Amino acid sequence: MKPRQRELHASTDSRSDERADVVRVVESQTCCDDAWEAAYQRFETPEEEIAKFTRRLVTLGHRQWPRDSRIVELFCGRGNGMVALKRLDFNHLEGVDLSASLLAEYRGPAKCYLADCRRLPFDDASKDVLIAQGGLHHLPRLPDDLEAVLIEVHRVLRPGGRFAVVEPWLTPFLSMVHGVCKVSLARKLWARLDALATMNELEHPVYGCWLGQPREILKRFDQRFAVERRKKAWGKLYYVGRKV
């Protein structure tokens, strides 16, 4: 039996056909297959990932968020973003991901849902903060899937609630990293670089589609949220928008 099975919830909607839809989506997502997950596990240790998420939360301005905020980590993977939030004294935490195997690795008090972020299992206006760290660029159909996620995020957030995003962005630094990833010797000498390159290859062409639509992506964000923070640095977009 997989660990923490009792913490997994298929959805608040219990109809079997909808659960079957989720399973089919899981099986169809390249980013969730065994090879991608193996590379993801090699890329950084859980503690390294928690430290990374903590730094990102500082950049996103987490100190302005009330500690009793009801927070959902979208595309939460093995849950280290929720571990970082817990260590920062946020206690009302939930996570959503399409990978049952990654969700099963989470150790903590948050409730985890095996669900599609294009169809969130939460009530209208029920959450204070929704966070997406590295999940939006896995969406297979842009901009349609992004629009579907944003509609759901807007629906679930309370008035004034925040949508916080950290995603890859084609800055000069990221272009340099992509170039180094093409050097076979560098990949052989640096295991972490090889893991990153492997993930990027398995995400292709979805990853490239995301990086190729910066104006459209920001336009979609700004149509639904009032910008609180926006920063592009070190190959990442940091964005916080508020529901108005």
| DSSP structure string for 204-243 | TTHHHHHHT-HHHHHHHHHHHSEEEEEEEETTEEEEEEE-
Domains of the chain (ranges, CATH numbers): 5-242 (3.40.50.150)
Mean model confidence pLDDT for the chain: 88
Closest CA to 243 of 127, 148, 158: 158
- Are residues 103 and 78 in contact, defined by beta-carbon separation less than 8 angstroms? yes
d(CA 82, CA 206): 26
Question: For tokens 């209208």, what's the residue?
Answer: 124
d(CA 229, CA 226): 9
Give the pLDDT band of residue 162 (cuts 50, 70, 90): very high
Over residues 2-32, the pLDDT tens digits come to 333 323 444 444 344 444 444 344 444 444 4
**Percent of the chain beyond pLDDT 90?**
80
Q: What is the mean pLDDT of residues 38-60?
A: 94
pLDDT given at position 181: 95
d(CA 171, CA 238): 12
Q: How many residues does the chain have?
A: 244
| Residue with more model confidence, 25 or 127 | 127
Confidence check: pLDDT of 88 > 80: yes
| Residue 152: other Cβ atoms inside 10 A | 19
| Residue with more model confidence, 76 or 18 | 76
pLDDT given at position 23: 39
Confidence check: pLDDT of 116 > 80: yes
pLDDT given at position 14: 39
Q: Where are the alpha helices (DSSP H) in 73-190?
A: 80-87, 100-103, 144-156, 172-181, 184-189
- Are residues 211 and 169 in contact, defined by beta-carbon separation less than 8 angstroms? yes
Axis crossing angle, helix 191-203 with helix 172-181, rounded to the nearest 10:
100
